Amino acid sequence: MPAQNNDHILPMQGPRLALTPIEERDIDQVAAFFGDVSELYYYLPDVLLPRNRHQLDAMMKDWNDGVNNFAFACRLDDQTIGLVTLADLDPFSGNAELGIMLAAASFRKKGYAREAIGLILDYAFGELRLHRLYVRVAPENHTSLRLFEAFGFQKEGRIRDAMRRGDGYVDLLLYGLLEDEYRQAKCSDDEFCLNGNKSYQGER
């Protein structure tokens, strides 16, 4: 059963980044991302429309209801460079969906996404004692696929026509990571390794 009332261990602090409870200032700093349809193409599996500030505030309330959905700001010093989310948390089965975004191209290809995922995995499987995390990724989003595979996420299936884009539909791939797989993939130096090799250090 997942643990409750874990605010005392926040923020999650990494070598460069901290994951903290989301605040109003964080929404201000990521608002441009949610107003850019080209950025949202892979990120939001629902209607592909830019969000104004009022719509973004409402969306963040849904994403961070404090019950089954939690949003964290990804901070580099005092700058919010992205968001990490745990959605649809099932406290009985210990399942949740993981999501991540970096707000601008200037924050990408620097390993920030990898660091943020490492922090949220420690939090989810450690403090929250979850059993399984899963992600949904478009098949052509190769960067995200390589990143999650490096942390040990296993392909569990294909969700056909799961996301409408333009006049058609796009499949999504379902990847999952179990707690025991997470434990096995962790190296003694607190880096992730698969089959004895350090994990993907690439674009994200």
Q: pLDDT tens-digit profile of 2-46?
A: 544 445 467 899 999 999 999 888 988 888 888 887 777 777 666
How far is Cα 194 from Cα 200, in angstroms, rounded to an integer?
A: 10
Can you list the domains of the chain with their CATH numbers? 7-198 (3.40.630.30)
Confidence of residue 167 (pLDDT cuts 50, 70, 90): confident
* Percentage, residues of the chain above pLDDT 90: 53
pLDDT at residue 130 in the model: 97
Confidence of residue 103 (pLDDT cuts 50, 70, 90): confident
How far is Cα 97 from Cα 89, in angstroms, rounded to an integer?
A: 7
pLDDT at residue 202 in the model: 46
How far is Cα 157 from Cα 105, in angstroms, rounded to an integer?
A: 30
Q: pLDDT tens-digit profile of 41-100?
A: 777 666 667 788 788 888 888 888 989 999 999 999 989 999 999 999 999 999 999 999
Buried b (16+ CB within 10 A) or exposed e, 168-182: eebebbbbbbbbebb
Partners of residue 203 on adjacent β-strands: none
Of 28-42, 78-92, 135-149, 160-174, the poorest mean pLDDT is in 28-42
| Phi/psi of residue 86, nearest 5 degrees | -120, 120
* Sign of the CA dihedral with 89 first, then 202, 112, and 10 last: positive
